[in-house]
């Protein structure tokens, strides 16, 4: 016979904490608490399987259920010494729902079930308190009426308000037993009017109606919506918990409370929570009376802590707190009641907490010996670390939402709106906080992005230029905010019916993608010693290395501070935009002859060499991967007429020629055009200059420090082995020249990005002439899906919302498609070359789920923007601990 009902308390515990699938979280933990000797009022749990049966069979219960419930109820009666429905000493019970995970939207709680016109007198006699009995009865009618019978709760409140008015009372506590008796009568009358039936008097009928309401609520619209939003399957079902009542509202020696075993916002090891003397359940959260703090340490002047008011029960609770933390080895969120100075536990579960608290609690618990270091590493959500590294909006600050975009780079920023990079730079130089607002950004805007506190774009996705660059710089960014209209000529943006002119203030939340009018108060991040401690523990278990994507000394230094173990991607094109260099870059592009191009490149060489020297010096012996020029050349030319004229003049060229060249270079599908290694193959002098700068810099640093860097020269956008062969030969030739000229030879590597499906599929061929592969999963996602990185923002959110794609594939790697290519390329590459070094440098290198995938494929390192380095260190450690990460889609 199937067991549908599991008893707990009073010496019979049929459940355990690990039975939450069957008993729900609440039921499993009640049984667990009872089994470790904590004071839990006796009760029973009706399993989630009954819910499934009930849903499938349109409200029918399994045949054995009735008998099992009766037997379980009889056991409670024996344990408590009271009888359900007894006119002298009635047993009262609570009925609560309890799914596997806590789920708002379900039927909540009915207390005092078993009361009726007769048993209320019995309760009065047994407790010796008329007022308590009638207050309990009216509470029962109110809860049962609203949650089981569906009567609008306002109807009950109106009756209480009238009763208070009639009695000249302002507080519920001022009402007498006669007042409550009248309220109960009026409630019953009103319920009959609304439902057409008398209020049920028979306790067993009340019980089954409440049980049915819990199971029925599993399929109500709110619960269905909540499940859809949180990926909770319908098959899980909910359990029902029926438990003997204990009363926190029987007088001054009674209380009820809700608390956390540690402070859930800071993680401090202090009993944190609220209690109310002479109150029942809902009173603590209902806000009718002001709850008081648990610990005297938390009491403000005028407050009376439980520690002070009820020392005996408090001491018992402190002991329970220690037992629970030791048993569950985690911070607990508990509910309790004190009845006549005796403590009863009504619930425990792992408590929700902020990122800061989760870090502190994990480290403290490991140091207290409650968990080991590996467990501490597993306990902190890597994505939550972002919150600790950036300013965040003060949750209590008022705000007015203007619009939303993609949460492209975390952190909050507030400043005046500017619409051009130059203006951003100029105003920032005067000490103003600015937000750079653009329809989209391009490499030309980098100086303005750097000067700005935050960046807002109305086009582009999570790997658009703005998003990638902002993350690299640690600037908060909201990208692709399609609902915001930017009018450059009017120097204004409009969103949500509001227009903000240049110079007006807005606030961005890069973690949520929200845009607010005016300034919203912020909280500065505090990096605690716990952060460093947890990172050290993570590093002890991590297998994959963590590098950074960086090209400026500032970014490289920031990344080192965050623990980066080298550079995985230096995008050299970002070094071309500096005002001192862009002229030479443009001169090179405008030259019709190789000689002309070489002259221009000769001007760039010293700059590039210095850039690489700086990076090698900062990275002191760590690997540095330098990627040869990647973007199509038109990105370096001006686009507007007046700029064209200016640039033409400075280059001694005429505007016509300039326009013609720009038209020649224009591409319909730029990211599939003349870019990547295709540039170096058509203009070998570009590769030669860059290779020379790399090797000369490496030799200089080797001589200066005595420690030679090992440059890794990376060829972008390779689609065939032949391309890499050609580029490799070019690079090797320059290396030999530099070594001969300087009399110094250093070690180096030549490898390629794998960012085209063809390259992944033919990786065995390509590996024959590569020392390493770095997966450029931004382009690989773009080319695998045929989905433009810069245009997908317009419709991708809808795809995710409709479930066509489970997540934005530019944020978290598409394991099924792009991941399969990464895996194929890794396997094919390693088959040819066992020691082939494998890494990832697309934006996925900083995303915890993608990092877990990288571990499963056996990559050697991940590379991400500087501010994500700690996130990646922790995620890589967790992936190692979970034994190879997640390979499933």
Q: Which residues are catalytic?
A: 465, 841
Q: Is 334 helix (H, G, I), strand (E, B) or coil?
A: strand
Neighbours of 560 (CB within 10 A): 20
Residues 169-228 contacting ligand PEP, CB under 6 A? none
DSSP 305: -
Binding partner of residue 777 among Mg ion, ligand PEP, none, CB cut-off 5 to 8 Å per kind: ligand PEP
Number of residues that bind ligand PEP (CB under 6 A): 11
d(CA 781, CA 266): 39
User: Per this entry, what is the length of the chain?
Assistant: 889
In angstroms, what is the minimal distance from the CB of 777 to ligand PEP?
Answer: 5
Per DSSP, helices labelled H in 380-474 are 382-389, 421-429, 446-451, 465-473
- How far apart, in Å, are the Cα atoms of 866 and each of 229, 466, 588? 32, 16, 32
Strands of 412-418's sheet, edge to edge? 400-404, 514-517, 505-509, 412-418, 434-438, 454-457, 477-479, 406-409
For residue 334, which of 321, 353, 318, 315 has the smallest C-alpha distance? 321
Residues 6+ apart with CB under 8 A from 58: none
Residues 836-865 contacting ligand PEP, CB under 6 A? 841-842
- Considering only 379, 542, 571, 721, the residue that binds ligand PEP (CB under 6 A) is 571
d(CA 419, CA 678): 34
Q: Is the dihedral of CA 542, 544, 545, 547 positive or negative?
A: negative
Binding partner of residue 614 among Mg ion, ligand PEP, none, CB cut-off 5 to 8 Å per kind: none
For residue 187, which of 144, 247, 249 has the smallest C-alpha distance? 144
Residue window 736-765: x/- pattern of binding to ligand PEP, with contact defined by CB under 6 A: -------------------x----------
**232 vs 672, beta carbon nearer Mg ion:** 672
In angstroms, what is the minimal distance from the CB of 675 to ligand PEP?
Answer: 9
DSSP 669: S
Question: Is residue 213 within 8 Å of residue 54, measured between CB atoms?
Answer: no
**468 vs 874, beta carbon nearer ligand PEP:** 468
d(CA 110, CA 94): 6
Contact range with ligand PEP by CB under 6 A, out of 250-258, 637-645, 677-685, 775-783: 775-783
**670 vs 684, beta carbon nearer ligand PEP:** 670
Residue window 464-483: x/- pattern of binding to ligand PEP, with contact defined by CB under 6 A: ----x---------------
Residues 578-637 contacting ligand PEP, CB under 6 A? 630
**75 vs 465, beta carbon nearer ligand PEP:** 465
Interface with Mg ion includes 779 (CB under 5 A)?
A: yes
For residue 41, which of 278, 281, 206 has the smallest C-alpha distance? 281
In angstroms, what is the minimal distance from the CB of 543 to ligand PEP?
Answer: 22
Strands 624-627 and 43-46: unpaired
Place of tokens 């939207």: 105
d(CA 335, CA 518): 41
Question: Is residue 456 within 8 Å of residue 478, measured between CB atoms?
Answer: yes
Residue window 789-828: x/- pattern of binding to ligand PEP, with contact defined by CB under 6 A: ----------------------------------------
Contact range with ligand PEP by CB under 6 A, out of 30-38, 431-439, 686-694, 773-781: 773-781
**525 vs 817, beta carbon nearer ligand PEP:** 817
- Considering only 122, 293, 448, 776, the residue that binds Mg ion (CB under 5 A) is 776
Interface with ligand PEP includes 548 (CB under 6 A)?
A: no
In angstroms, what is the minimal distance from the CB of 868 to Mg ion?
Answer: 18
**354 vs 774, beta carbon nearer Mg ion:** 774
DSSP 108: -
Token pair, residue 623, equals 């690997």
In angstroms, what is the minimal distance from the CB of 463 to ligand PEP?
Answer: 6
**726 vs 754, beta carbon nearer ligand PEP:** 754
Binding partner of residue 879 among ligand PEP, Mg ion, none, CB cut-off 5 to 8 Å per kind: none
In angstroms, what is the minimal distance from the CB of 613 to ligand PEP?
Answer: 23
- Considering only 76, 413, 569, 677, the residue that binds ligand PEP (CB under 6 A) is 569
Q: Is 437 helix (H, G, I), strand (E, B) or coil?
A: strand
Contact range with ligand PEP by CB under 6 A, out of 472-480, 501-509, 777-785, 801-809: 777-785
Give the number of C-alpha atoms closer than 13 A to the C-alpha of residue 565, restricted to the C-beta side. Answer: 13
In angstroms, what is the minimal distance from the CB of 753 to ligand PEP?
Answer: 7
Strands 238-244 and 93-99: antiparallel
Neighbours of 743 (CB within 10 A): 8
For residue 241, which of 407, 463, 54, 23 has the smallest C-alpha distance? 23
Binding partner of residue 571 among Mg ion, ligand PEP, none, CB cut-off 5 to 8 Å per kind: ligand PEP
Binding partner of residue 129 among Mg ion, ligand PEP, none, CB cut-off 5 to 8 Å per kind: none
**468 vs 648, beta carbon nearer ligand PEP:** 468
d(CA 163, CA 179): 7
- Considering only 179, 779, 790, 847, the residue that binds ligand PEP (CB under 6 A) is 779
DSSP output for 533-569: HHHHHHHHH--SEEEEE--SHHHHHHHHHTT--SEEE
Binding partner of residue 874 among ligand PEP, Mg ion, none, CB cut-off 5 to 8 Å per kind: none
Binding partner of residue 91 among ligand PEP, Mg ion, none, CB cut-off 5 to 8 Å per kind: none
**478 vs 840, beta carbon nearer Mg ion:** 840
Q: Provide the binding-site residues for Mg ion, judged by CB under 5 A.
A: 755, 776, 779
Q: Provide the binding-site residues for ligand PEP, judged by CB under 6 A.
A: 468, 569, 571, 630, 755, 776-779, 841-842
């Amino acid at each position: 016979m199937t067991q549908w009902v599991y008893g707990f308390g009073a010496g019979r515990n049929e459940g355990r904490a690990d039975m939450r699938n069957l008993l729900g979280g609440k039921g499993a933990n009640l049984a667990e608490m009872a089994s470790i000797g904590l004071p839990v009022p006796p009760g029973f749990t009706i399993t989630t399987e009954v819910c499934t049966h009930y849903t499938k069979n349109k409200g029918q219960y399994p045949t054995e259920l009735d008998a099992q419930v009766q037997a379980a109820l009889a056991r409670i009666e024996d344990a408590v010494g009271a009888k359900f429905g007894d006119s002298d000493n009635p047993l009262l019970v609570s009925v609560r729902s309890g799914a596997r995970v806590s789920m708002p939207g379900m039927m909540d709680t009915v207390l005092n079930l078993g009361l009726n016109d007769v048993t209320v007198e019995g309760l009065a006699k047994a407790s010796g308190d008329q007022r308590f009995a009638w207050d309990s009865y009216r509470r029962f009618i109110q809860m049962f009426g609203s949650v089981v019978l569906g009567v609008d709760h306002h109807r009950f409140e109106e009756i209480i308000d009238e009763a208070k008015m009639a009695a000249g009372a302002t507080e519920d506590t001022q009402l007498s037993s006669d007042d409550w008796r009248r309220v109960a009568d009026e409630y019953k009358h009103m319920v009959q009017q609304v439902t057409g039936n008398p209020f049920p008097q028979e306790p067993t009928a009340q019980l089954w109606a409440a049980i049915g309401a819990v199971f029925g609520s599993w399929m109500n619209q709110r619960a269905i919506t909540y499940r859809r939003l949180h990926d909770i399957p319908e098959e899980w079902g909910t359990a029902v918990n029926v438990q003997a009542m204990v009363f926190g509202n029987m007088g001054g020696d009674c209380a009820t409370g809700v608390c956390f075993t540690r402070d859930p916002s800071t993680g401090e090891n202090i009993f944190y929570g609220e209690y109310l003397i002479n109150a029942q359940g809902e009173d603590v959260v209902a806000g009718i009376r002001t709850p008081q703090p648990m610990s005297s340490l938390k009491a403000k002047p005028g407050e009376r802590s439980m520690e002070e008011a009820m020392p005996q029960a408090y001491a018992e609770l402190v002991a329970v707190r220690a037992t629970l933390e030791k048993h569950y080895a985690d911070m607990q969120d508990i509910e309790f009641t004190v009845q006549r100075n005796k403590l009863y536990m009504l619930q425990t579960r792992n408590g929700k907490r902020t990122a800061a608290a989760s870090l502190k609690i994990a480290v403290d618990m490991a140091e207290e010996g409650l968990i080991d270091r590996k467990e501490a590493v597993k306990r902190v959500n890597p994505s939550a670390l972002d919150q600790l590294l950036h300013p965040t909006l003060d949750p209590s600050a008022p705000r007015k939402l203007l619009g939303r975009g993609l949460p492209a780079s975390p952190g909050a920023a507030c400043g005046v709106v500017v619409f051009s990079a130059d203006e951003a730079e100029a105003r920032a130089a005067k000490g103003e906080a600015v937000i750079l607002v653009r329809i989209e950004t391009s490499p030309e805007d980098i100086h303005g992005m750097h000067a700005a506190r935050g960046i807002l774009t109305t086009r582009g996705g999570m790997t658009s230029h703005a998003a990638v660059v902002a993350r690299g710089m640690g600037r908060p960014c909201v990208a692709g905010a399609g609902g915001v209209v930017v009018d450059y000529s009017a120097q204004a943006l409009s969103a949500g019916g509001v227009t903000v002119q240049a110079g007006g203030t807005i606030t961005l939340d890069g973690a949520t993608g929200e845009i607010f009018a005016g300034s919203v108060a912020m909280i500065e991040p505090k990096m605690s010693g716990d952060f460093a401690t947890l990172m050290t523990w993570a590093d002890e278990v991590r297998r994959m290395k963590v590098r950074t994507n960086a090209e400026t000394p500032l970014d490289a230094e920031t990344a080192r501070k965050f623990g980066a173990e080298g550079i995985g991607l230096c995008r050299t094109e970002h070094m071309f935009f500096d005002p001192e260099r862009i002229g030479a870059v443009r001169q090179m592009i405008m030259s019709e002859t190789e000689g002309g191009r070489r002259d221009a490149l000769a001007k760039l060489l010293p700059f590039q060499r210095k850039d690489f020297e700086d990076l090698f010096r900062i990275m002191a012996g760590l690997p540095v991967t330098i990627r040869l020029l990647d973007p199509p050349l038109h990105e370096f030319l001006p686009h507007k007429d007046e700029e064209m004229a200016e640039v033409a003049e400075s280059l001694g060229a005429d505007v016509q020629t300039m326009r013609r060249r720009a038209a020649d270079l224009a591409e319909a599908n730029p990211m599939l055009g003349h870019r990547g290694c295709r540039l170096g193959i058509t203009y070998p002098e570009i590769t030669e200059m860059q290779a020379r700068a790399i090797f000369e810099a490496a030799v200089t640093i080797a001589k200066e420090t005595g420690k030679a860097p090992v440059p890794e020269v990376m060829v972008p956008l390779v689609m065939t082995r032949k391309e890499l062969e050609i580029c490799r030969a070019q690079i090797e030739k320059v290396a030999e020249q530099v070594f001969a000229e300087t009399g110094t030879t250093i070690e180096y590597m030549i490898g390629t990005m794998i960012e085209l499906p063809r390259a992944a599929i033919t990786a065995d061929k390509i590996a024959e002439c590569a020392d390493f592969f770095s997966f450029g999963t931004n382009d690989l996602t773009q080319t695998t899906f045929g989905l433009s990185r810069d245009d997908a923002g317009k419709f991708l959110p809808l795809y995710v919302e409709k479930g066509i794609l489970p997540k934005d594939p530019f944020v978290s790697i598409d394991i099924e498609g792009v991941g399969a290519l990464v895996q194929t390329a890794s396997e094919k590459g390693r088959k040819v070359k066992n020691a082939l070094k494998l890494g990832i440098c697309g934006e996925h290198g900083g995303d915890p789920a993608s990092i877990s995938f990288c571990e499963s494929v056996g990559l050697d390192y991940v590379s991400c923007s500087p501010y994500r380095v700690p996130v990646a260190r922790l995620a890589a450690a967790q992936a190692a601990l979970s034994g190879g990460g997640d390979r499933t889609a």
